[in-house]
Structure 1
Amino acid sequence: MKTPILSLKEVSLTFGIKPLFDHLSLSIYPDDRIAVVGRNGEGKSSLLKVIAGLYDLDGGERWVMPGVEVGYLPQAIDIEDHNLTVYDFILSGIMKGEIETSSYLIDIIIAPLKLDPNNLLSELSGGLLRRAFLAKTLISSPKILLLDEPTNHLDIDTIEWLEEYVKSYQGAVVCISHDKAFLKNISNKTFWLDRGKLKVNNLGFENFEKWSLEVLEQEQRELEKAEKKLDEEELWKVQGISARRKRNQKRLADLYTLREKTQQGKAARKILLNKIHLDPLTPVLSSKMVCEFRDVYKTYENKNILESFSMRIMRNDKIGIIGSNGTGKTTFLRLLTGEEQPDKGSIKIGKTVEVTYYDQKRVALNPDDTLWKTLCPEGGEYLKVGEKFMHVVAYLKNFLFDPKQARDKVATLSGGQANRLLLAKALANPGSLLILDEPTNDLDMDTLEMIQDVLTDYQGTLIIVSHDRDFLDSIINKTIYFEGNGVIEEFFGSYTELRKIKDDQAKAKSNNNSKSSLKLKEETNKDKVPSAKKLSYSLQRELSLMPEKVLELDQLIEQLEIILSEQDLYQTAPDKFDEKSKQLEETRQKLEDTWARWQELESML
């Protein structure tokens, strides 16, 4: 039988008058990879602090095996001495007797985290400070590693590196994260904090959805059984309680206890099942071609962002933009919205395209405004949500804000609440082109699931920059991968599919050491990647005119549809109705033929 290296027994913890944990018990074993999940406010971060020994307990016992060190990466970073270099700060995580034998690890960890060892902590952004703290936590190599949202401010490449590091870690790991893909890949056990109770499953997070549903279904059966018993007891009370008062005092007391437990169970389930609700988004219809980049060049801070870049974004595209930090993803969005101008080349936006931009820096939020004013900047009590008007308080409730918060200032919100408010503002009227820059930061899983559902059904054009692979894979149909130094790859499919292809290519390359394997690779590449061809001048000119031609036909179709939708046109002007109907049919056929020709010309390339 395995021996735990840390355990909590009958632990109780109260903040103010609210008990957070009541008689909570758990054990951590040397090879555990534990995913800690639960809704916001359930106490996940507090549980990690209890495990780390940072809180005085109101009751119960915390036991740690002698010689076992506990390392802790908090969600909110607090560094006392900002005058240290990154190297010295990380070095301080190594015990004095182990500096000579362990200092080499700094170089191994610092490179993938993209930190400059010579920078002062005072020069770092919040995201880089968090990376430095992560490096210090990892370098200490504790027997128990506690990670609270370790993927915050990391790009996908770094998250994948951290995944591999955690999977091969020589010790126990306990992790809180909203990144489902990260939790699925690292965990072999799940702690679920649910309404003050800890539920444990000896399977990883990948099994959480199935397991939690089974737990809730069992709970529902028990609640229904308790309600049936309560009905029977209430009937007994009505029929004969006065005649048997003394004899049945205990049964009466049990009845009151059962009633209280049933009411508490109903209330708790109501809270648990309370989810963010939002009606389907209704985009403004736009032209078929939303945007075209044509031979665009852009440098930023002496870095190549775009180099001879050409691309068309079409209506209903759902595009995920990925890449390491600093490769130009946000600059690309700013070019798209017109906040930046290309150094060379052209960017054309469809005339009828309406853009909504969700900025990860939250510049659209004024900390001195109230939540109410943020959603209703022109005043009043109602805001337009899609095709209808909603009261601002009702709309805030859809995003799990308490009605009492409506008059609070934005400055009082947590990071997750501020993101929810910004999403509420963006999703009220998303327009025909919705751009989301890192929308998943600081959000809990319930909010992420709601956004995934809404964006999956969105009928407009969507562009998302995100490091959350599960979030992207559930929504996008096209990936734009910024590799750095102006190298950009377009892929029709999800990030996971792209990653698999790249991994397969890397494996094939490492295995192709013989002539036969090299020949096989050449034949495979020949099948997959046709050689580039140069079009004649006339064909090149025809291709360049295609976007404008499609746009004109698209607009003509919209005009004809408006004319034909006029009431009584058929009765009052039958000749005109026939003429416009015929013209509409012909124009639609022309548009279809034009699209086919456009595809044919592009295939020649």
Structure 2
Amino acid sequence: MPNPILQIDSLTKSFGDLLLFKDISFGIAEGDKIGLIAANGSGKTTLLNIIAGKEPYDSGRVVFRNDIRVDYLEQSPEFDPELTVLEACFSADNDIVKLIARYEDIISSGNQDDLSRILAEMDLNNAWDYEQRIKNILSQLKIYDFHQKIGELSGGQIKRVALANVLISEPELVILDEPTNHLDLEMVEWLEEYLTRNNISLLMVTHDRYFLDRVCTQIIEIDDKQVYSYKGNYSYYLEKRDERISTQDAEVSRAKNLMRKELDWMRRQPRARGTKSKSRIESFYSLEEKANKQREEKNINLASKGSYIGKKIFEAKHVSKSFDEIKITKDFNYNFTRYEKMGIVGNNGTGKSTFIKMLLGVEKPDEGYFEIGETVNFGYYSQDGLQFDDQKKVIDVVTDIAEVIDQGDGKKLTASQFLQHFMFPPEKQHNYVYKLSGGEKRRLYLCTVLITNPNFLVLDEPTNDLDIITLNILEEYLASFKGCLIVISHDRYFMDKVVDHLLVFHGNAKIQNYPGNYTQYREWKAEEDKRQSEVAKIVKTESEPADSRKKEEVKTKLTFKEKREFESLEKEIEELEEEKKLLSEEISSGKLNTDELLSKSNRLTELLNLIDEKTMRWLELSEI
């Protein structure tokens, strides 16, 4: 049986009158990979903050196994803006970084007393290659300029640096709050594979349902201030949750039938009740509570008529756009048809958001133009569109835009009813905006876009910070939406449910139109990559290995001096790596005296710097 590493007992947390959860208990064992699911505002991030020691709680216990190493990826991490990317990674508060710092102190001070022990710890923790591991993971997360200042990075890039920090330190328990936000689809799939492959314990909040399904072995749900645990992935959770809800609904139905009888009995009771009736009276109030219990999900049934849209939607004609050397589109043409539901995917920086900003007239093309139909009424949900007056009430934010929304067939919804469909009950509607969680603000922003009754929705990363229940509501809304849709999202599950074809942005103005959803595209791409790989093997001659061909290509592009340097570097790196290997074996042997240990460890540090420096130069020359 796996060893427990964390136990939560009878934990209760509230903010003033708002009770988030009460007397919840669960544990995390070695190797558990747990997804935490709850509606926005139910306390997911608060629970993670409590476990990470960043927030107090009202009562209960949070008990870790002794000497457990824990690292936490916060939703909005912060670093000193003056640090470089590499310095930020080395400023992390983790054991390996502290070990490297202690080693550096000992080397610089000349104090040899603890040198042997520190060297053994460095070997045990594989600390010698820490910087290279940092660079490898940062590169996978598409952070390539290791010397760029943190203050120059976007919020998404900072989140990726923080994620790299967590993964590099290899803690025994990783806590992740929305790790897939700001990752493109390629990075999400890499992270999915990394977490599945590594034997770490994991507790995370994410709305990415494919990610939950493929990574997690257990789901914990906060529902109605209680915790429910399901030993399985997301698919298993859905199945078992449905069984639980059905059981609860059956109990409510039985309770209502009993209530009618009990209510009749209570009305017939004389004013002075006997003691024999006391237990039955208490039972009545218990039944009343159960009978009045309603589940919000049952009442969600939302459709939108959308205003009339004509046959002409938009045409892109010879559209070209670039920023300096970065090409977004080049002579791009497209005729968007009525009721089309298009997904836009591609790596970060390939121009997805720029494309829709050109469509909406926010950005101007360098050449060409977009011709928009006269009946088109855009509704635009942008990544940076959250601009509310925090001192306004939720209901006022929506009614300032529209009092009612037309659902078609003579049906109309008031702003209050519309908000209820998006899980803002009447009491929450009269809260001030500043009291909402980040996810609730996103949900409110979505309501402000939809209540304008557009006939062409343009959604740029709508799934970030939305809980799974809200995503289900939005997916239902879009399925019945009688209009056009363009959506940019890294949420593969969401894309599979709502779009019928894709524009794939490959970068450098290469845009592919694929007739299918994201999963179908990935399956096709895997087959295509395999086919191209097989073709390449056939074309490649047996007498000329790929490596030697690459070297020849490099050599033809370099000057005579650079060719000599390139050839010399290969040999030097090989010799340095061999010396590093021998030194590491000597240091670990336990046969060296203190002076020899100090001397050889100094040389090892020099070697690591030399290998890094020469490898970077080799890479520079190989890319010429």
The 1:374–1:217 alpha-carbon spacing in structure 2 relative to 1, beyond 3 Å, is: closer
Is the aligned partner of 1:279 residue 2:279? no
What's the counterpart of residue 263 of structure 1?
A: 288
What's the counterpart of residue 139 of structure 2?
A: 111
Q: Matched residue of 2:251: which SS? A: helix
The 1:320–1:91 alpha-carbon spacing in structure 2 relative to 1, beyond 3 Å, is: same
What's the counterpart of residue 182 of structure 1?
A: 211
Higher relative contact order (CA 8 A, sep 6+): 2
RMSD: 3.1
Out of 461-470 and 51-60, give the one that drifted further: 51-60
- TM-aligned CA deviation for residue 167 of structure 1: 1.0
- TM-aligned CA deviation for residue 307 of structure 1: 1.6
What's the counterpart of residue 427 of structure 1?
A: 450
1:227 and 1:340 map into 2 onto residues whose CA distance is 58
Is the aligned partner of 1:382 residue 2:396? no
Structure 2, unmatched stretches of 5+, are: 100-124, 542-624
What's the counterpart of residue 567 of structure 1?
A: none
What's the counterpart of residue 62 of structure 2?
A: 62
Where do residues 348-387 of structure 1 align in structure 2 (5 Å cutoff)? 348-362=371-385, 374-375=397-398, 377=400, 382-383=403-404, 385=406
1:399 and 1:5 map into 2 onto residues whose CA distance is 38
What's the counterpart of residue 600 of structure 1?
A: none
Question: Could you list the per-position Cα deviations for residues 533-570 of structure 1 after superposition, in whole angstroms to 9, with x for gaps in the alignment?
Answer: xxxxxxxxxxxxxxxxxxxxxxxxxxxxxxxxxxxxxx
Is the aligned partner of 1:343 residue 2:366? yes
Q: Matched residue of 2:207: which SS? A: coil
Is the aligned partner of 1:92 residue 2:91? yes
The 1:225–1:414 alpha-carbon spacing in structure 2 relative to 1, beyond 3 Å, is: closer
What's the counterpart of residue 477 of structure 2?
A: 454
1:443 to 466, 486, 493: 466
1:235 and 1:404 map into 2 onto residues whose CA distance is 31
- TM-aligned CA deviation for residue 205 of structure 1: 1.0
Contact 1:14 1:21 in 2 (8 A): yes
1:136 to 165, 180, 183: 165
- TM-aligned CA deviation for residue 64 of structure 1: 2.1
What's the counterpart of residue 320 of structure 1?
A: 343
1:457 and 1:238 map into 2 onto residues whose CA distance is 47
Contact 1:277 1:399 in 2 (8 A): no
The 1:125–1:235 alpha-carbon spacing in structure 2 relative to 1, beyond 3 Å, is: same
What's the counterpart of residue 34 of structure 1?
A: 34
1:14 and 1:124 map into 2 onto residues whose CA distance is 35
What's the counterpart of residue 467 of structure 1?
A: 490
1:512 and 1:444 map into 2 onto residues whose CA distance is 44
What's the counterpart of residue 12 of structure 1?
A: 12
- TM-aligned CA deviation for residue 13 of structure 1: 3.5
2:429 and 2:64 map into 1 onto residues whose CA distance is 45
Out of 128-137 and 143-152, give the one that drifted further: 128-137
What's the counterpart of residue 570 of structure 1?
A: none
What's the counterpart of residue 543 of structure 1?
A: none
1:460 and 1:174 map into 2 onto residues whose CA distance is 39
2:83 and 2:154 map into 1 onto residues whose CA distance is 15
Q: Matched residue of 1:400: which SS? A: coil
What's the counterpart of residue 584 of structure 2?
A: none
Question: Could you list the per-position Cα deviations for residues 229-285 of structure 1 after superposition, in whole angstroms to 9, with x for gaps in the alignment?
Answer: 555556666678789824x1xxx3433433333333344x42543655533232312
Contact 1:357 1:426 in 2 (8 A): yes
Question: Could you list the per-position Cα deviations for residues 478-505 of structure 1 after superposition, in whole angstroms to 9, with x for gaps in the alignment?
Answer: 1001111111111000011101111222
- TM-aligned CA deviation for residue 469 of structure 1: 1.1
The 1:76–1:316 alpha-carbon spacing in structure 2 relative to 1, beyond 3 Å, is: same
State the TM-score, normalizing by the size of structure 1: 0.76
Out of 291-300 and 173-182, give the one that drifted further: 291-300
Structure 2 letter corresponding to 1:87: L
1:329 and 1:86 map into 2 onto residues whose CA distance is 26
The 1:18–1:402 alpha-carbon spacing in structure 2 relative to 1, beyond 3 Å, is: closer
Where do residues 154-193 of structure 1 align in structure 2 (5 Å cutoff)? 154-193=183-222
Of all paired residues, the percent bearing the same amino acid is 31
The 1:513–1:299 alpha-carbon spacing in structure 2 relative to 1, beyond 3 Å, is: closer
Where do residues 373-412 of structure 1 align in structure 2 (5 Å cutoff)? 374-375=397-398, 377=400, 382-383=403-404, 385=406, 391-401=414-424, 403=426
| Equivalent residue pairs, number | 509
The 1:264–1:155 alpha-carbon spacing in structure 2 relative to 1, beyond 3 Å, is: farther
2:447 and 2:40 map into 1 onto residues whose CA distance is 18
Question: Could you list the per-position Cα deviations for residues 488-524 of structure 1 after superposition, in whole angstroms to 9, with x for gaps in the alignment?
Answer: 1110000111011112222344455765999xxxxxx
Contact 1:386 1:428 in 2 (8 A): no
Question: Could you list the per-position Cα deviations for residues 54-81 of structure 1 after superposition, in whole angstroms to 9, with x for gaps in the alignment?
Answer: 44454433332223212111223344x3
Structure 2 letter corresponding to 1:60: G
Q: Matched residue of 1:282: which SS? A: coil
Structure 1 letter corresponding to 2:508: N
- TM-aligned CA deviation for residue 389 of structure 1: 6.2
What's the counterpart of residue 196 of structure 1?
A: 225
